[in-house]
Amino acid sequence: MSAVYILENVEQILGGRCVLSLDSLMVESGKAYALQGPNGSGKTTLLHLLAFLRAPVLGEVVFQGERVRWDARSLTALRRRVVLVEQHPVMFTDTVMKNVCYGLRKRRVPGSRQQSMAKECLDLVGMADQEHRSAHLLSGGEIQRVAIARALACQPDVLLLDEPISSVDMENAGRIECLLEDLRKKGRMTLIFSTHKPLEALRLADERIFLSGGRRVAAGGENMVSGTLYGEKGRTLFRTANGMEIGVSAQHVASGQVRLVIRPEKIRLFTLEEAIDKGMENVFEGRILQMHEENGQISLVMDMGMPLFVRTSRQWLMRAGVLPGDRIRAAWGPEAMDLLPPSS
């Protein structure tokens, strides 16, 4: 597979502050990527850079083998190959059809062809029968679907989406998920979308990119849960809002509201028949919800009363012979946990 983007030593400064700093990032053609990270971690900033909407202050971007020069002429050509669907897309006060044709008109596609291309794309997002409706009267989820149709009509090489599912109802979210899944399977365009939902990222992406404070980090935020710390019989316990209790060992003496992170790579998995290793303060049984191969490892989600993300080896999976739906046990010691202050 060829690289569609290569970023090197890229920095973005906004409001006098460095909000994005990436040593290197390679995006392969035809794959689906999820951008994850807490609020303000730089996901939108990175999407704007990849959409050629804002040049980085430092560093180099290579797109489809050519260094991006950021001058007006080359940007016009690049923006024809990459389309961004913003988190809250703007609709023109016109019909759905006219909105979908917008990009095609700008690209000077002949009028007759515009209609048929737009119809095809409205069909893909399940809005073919809505072409005459006024776009500004659509619901948030419908707007998101029309915006995706408008982007697809331009037949971009790269489709960027800023939190496409976060603010839409379940029905629209389901339709958008199916569409992204379909596009990913076809592999004709590169997909990059930001999300706050780890399950969605795992389900829809070939690779996940985690950002924190504008930097790429190994992983994070997957098993981050808010709750209360309290002491009981010489132990310190963490209680989640839905009443789950997790032992966090006596070395954590603080009490009150905190966030707990359980590191996916430090969790050990056991079949129900296996003996649990010594020193495991927490042992939970649950059902496997999802499994997914990622960068040579297995990412697994288990339902233990909350989704628990675990990174394990292929060898463990082969040996255990378990499948989604099977019950297993997850166990971890104090080294797998970090306590953070509550989010502001």
Ligand X SMILES: Nc1ncnc2c1ncn2[C@@H]1O[C@H](COP(=O)(O)OP(=O)(O)OP(=O)(O)O)[C@@H](O)[C@H]1O
Nearest to 160 by CA among 183, 138, 140, 143: 183
Q: Say whether residue 40 binds ligand X (CB under 6 A).
A: yes
252: contact with ligand X by CB under 6 A: no
Smallest gap from Cβ 173 to ligand X, in A, equals 17
Interface with ligand X, residue 43, by CB under 6 A: yes
CB of 90 to ligand X, least distance (A): 17
14 binds ligand X (CB under 6 A): yes
Sites for ligand X among residues 169-208 (CB under 6 A): none
Out of 6, 8, 11, 19, point to the residue binding ligand X (CB under 6 A): 19
Counting Cα atoms < 13 Å in the Cβ hemisphere of 149 gives: 33
> Does residue 41 touch ligand X according to CB under 6 A?
yes
What the block records as the tokens of 84 is: 């961004």
Burial code (b: 16+ CB inside 10 Å, e: under 16) for 299-329 equals bbbbebeebbbbbbeeebbeebebeeeeebb
Select from 38-46, 240-248, 324-332, 334-342 the region that touches ligand X (CB under 6 A): 38-46
Q: How far is the CB of 57 from ligand X (least distance, A)?
A: 13
Among residues 215 and 266, whose Cβ is nearest to ligand X?
215
As measured in angstroms, the least distance from the Cβ of 214 to ligand X is 7
Q: Is 231 in the site for ligand X (CB under 6 A)?
A: no
Site size with ligand X, rule: CB under 6 A: 11
Give least dist CB 205 to ligand X, A. 16
Give me the least distance between CB of 128 and ligand X, in Å please.
31
Candidates 37-45, 131-139, 301-309, 333-341 — which segment interacts with ligand X by CB under 6 A?
A: 37-45
Asked if 42 touches ligand X (CB under 6 A), the answer is: yes
Q: Is the dihedral of CA 243, 246, 247, 253 positive or negative?
A: negative
Q: Considering only the stretches 35-43, 61-69, 72-80, 266-274, report the one whose residues sit in contact with ligand X under the rule CB under 6 A.
A: 35-43
Please pick, from the candidates 27, 36, 37, 183, the single residue that binds ligand X as defined by CB under 6 A.
37
**Residue of this chain nearest to ligand X (CB atom):** 15
- Our CB check for ligand X shows the closer of 15 and 256 to be 15
Nearest distance in Å: CB 315, ligand X: 35
Task: Select from 1, 2, 39, 321 the one that contacts ligand X (CB under 6 A).
Answer: 39
- Report, in Å, the least distance between residue 340 CB and ligand X: 17
Contacts of the segment 312-321: beta carbons below 8 A, 24+ positions apart:
312/269, 316/269, 317/291, 320/269, 320/271
User: Which segment (40-48, 217-225, 248-256, 309-317) binds ligand X by CB under 6 A?
Assistant: 40-48
Assess 45 for contact with ligand X (CB under 6 A).
yes
Closer of 198 and 247 to ligand X (Cβ): 198
Residues that bind ligand X (CB under 6 A): 14-15, 19, 37, 39-45
